[in-house]
Amino acid sequence: MNGRRTERGRIRRRERPAQPPYAQRPLFHRETRTVNLLPFFCAGWLFLVGCYALATSRNLIHAVGALAVCQSSTYVLLLAVGYRSGGTAPVFSDVPPGARPVVDPVVQALTLTDVVVGATVTALLLALVVQIAKRHGTVDPDELRELRG
């Protein structure tokens, strides 16, 4: 019974397609992994801190700022995914191509998109806050319970 199960396991392992190097590493690797994962956890922490601030906010301007903190977590995550040890900026105006490793340009372009969209959405939300303050006389979300005409 036991032998057959190992047999099946072995066959399955052999048929599995080749995996990229990072997927072959063990999930728990106590010494190195924690340090290497720090930027990712920093991004997660930023997101959760932003969520906490957003949910407990007593001021809509503060809430818009909290949303910006949430958004900045995606910048940290994207840039951390694209980072390469010893890498320089993916710009070849003063570095000859191939002379040095460069960080991933795709995630940098995505981060640029992210920053632009984040800034414009922040502006739109602040415009809404201005109108709310004018129409309701308050920027405390808890005092904006009921709908008014």
Instruction: Give me the 6-45 binding string for another protein, x by CB under 8 A, dash otherwise.
Output: --------------xxxx-x-xx----x--xxxxxx--x-
By the rule CB under 8 A, 144 interacts with another protein: no
By the rule CB under 8 A, 148 interacts with another protein: no
Which residue in 7, 10, 100, 124 binds another protein (CB under 8 A)? 124
Half-sphere exposure of 144 (CA within 13 A, CB side): 16
DSSP per-residue letters across 36-74 = HHHHHHHHHHHHHHHHHHHHT-SSHHHHHHHHHHHHHHH
Instruction: Specify the 3-state DSSP secondary structure of 26.
Output: coil
By the rule CB under 8 A, 116 interacts with another protein: yes
Task: Report in angstroms how near the CB of residue 131 gets to another protein at its nearest.
Answer: 6
The C-alpha R_g of the chain, in whole angstroms, comes to 24
**Structural contact between residues 73 and 43, judged by C-beta atoms closer than 8 angstroms:** yes
Residue 17 is given by DSSP the state P
Task: Report in angstroms how near the CB of residue 36 gets to another protein at its nearest.
Answer: 5
At residue 33, φ and ψ (nearest 5 deg) are -60, -40
As a residue count, the chain comes to 149
From 2-10, 11-19, 62-70, 86-94, give the range in contact with another protein by CB under 8 A: 86-94
What are the residues binding another protein (CB under 8 A)? 20-23, 25, 27-28, 33, 36-41, 44, 47-48, 51-52, 55-56, 80-85, 89-93, 97, 101-109, 112-113, 116-117, 120-121, 123-124, 126-128, 130-131, 134
